[in-house]
Each structure stands twice: as structure tokens, then as C-alpha cells.
């Protein structure tokens, strides 16, 4: 059964949501953001926190850690696009970043 979290959003809906998510970009049916890290160890800590959040919600992003950035990418494989679940997760990651 497909739920609203498993249904890909339209480009218009995604862009509307992203207007409230500074730094997040939409391309190739995915949303992503590059976060600046003050140090490599801060980036590692951020990735660990994202991993814990992902496990809690059973929704896992692609994460790339490089010095001095962390790139987080969300999309829902079963929907082959961005869903409300991805938007919600992006909001949570942005809030997490602000708290660290």
C-alpha cells in the first residue's frame, strides 16, 4: 500500500517546501544540502547525529563527509523521487545542524 510519504511530490510542491529550507537544493529527483563543518571532528559528530536520527525514523540519507563539508541527500527509492518524508527529514537535519 502506498502512503502519502511514499508518493513523490510534484516539482512545484518540492520547490515550495524548499523555500522554507535555506540551503537545500532540488536536482535529479533528490534534495540535498552542503553543510559547513568548523572542523573534521565536528563533521564526524554531525554525521553520527544524522545517523541516529535516520535510525529513529527509518529513513536514511546519502551522506558524504569531506573536509570541510558534509553533504546530505534525501530521496525515497520506492517513490523514485522526493516525498513528504524527505522534506520532513531535511527539516530535522537542518534543525540538528543549528543545535550543534
Q: What is the pLDDT of residue 6?
A: 84
Look at residue 69 and tell me whether its pLDDT is greater than 60. Answer: yes
> Cα–Cα distance between 65 and 40 in angstroms, integer?
9
Q: What is the pLDDT of residue 34?
A: 98
Q: What is the pLDDT of residue 4?
A: 52
Indicate yes or no: pTM above 0.85.
yes
CATH number of 6-99: 3.30.1360.20
> Cα–Cα distance between 63 and 32 in angstroms, integer?
10
**pLDDT band at residue 12 using 50, 70 and 90 as cut-offs:** very high
> Cα–Cα distance between 9 and 87 in angstroms, integer?
10
Domain residue spans in the chain?
Answer: 6-99
Look at residue 2 and tell me whether its pLDDT is greater than 60. Answer: no
Amino acid at each position: 500500500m502506498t502512503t502519502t510519504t511514499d508518493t513523490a511530490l510534484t516539482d512545484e510542491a518540492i520547490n515550495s517546501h524548499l523555500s522554507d529550507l535555506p540551503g537545500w537544493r532540488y536536482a535529479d529527483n533528490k534534495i540535498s544540502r552542503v553543510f559547513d563543518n568548523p572542523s573534521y571532528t565536528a563533521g564526524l559528530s554531525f554525521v553520527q547525529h544524522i545517523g541516529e536520527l535516520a535510525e529513529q525514523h527509518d529513513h536514511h540519507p546519502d551522506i558524504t563527509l569531506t573536509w570541510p563539508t558534509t553533504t546530505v541527500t534525501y530521496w525515497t527509492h520506492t517513490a523514485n523521487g522526493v516525498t513528504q518524508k524527505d522534506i520532513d527529514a531535511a527539516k530535522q537535519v537542518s534543525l540538528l545542524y543549528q543545535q550543534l
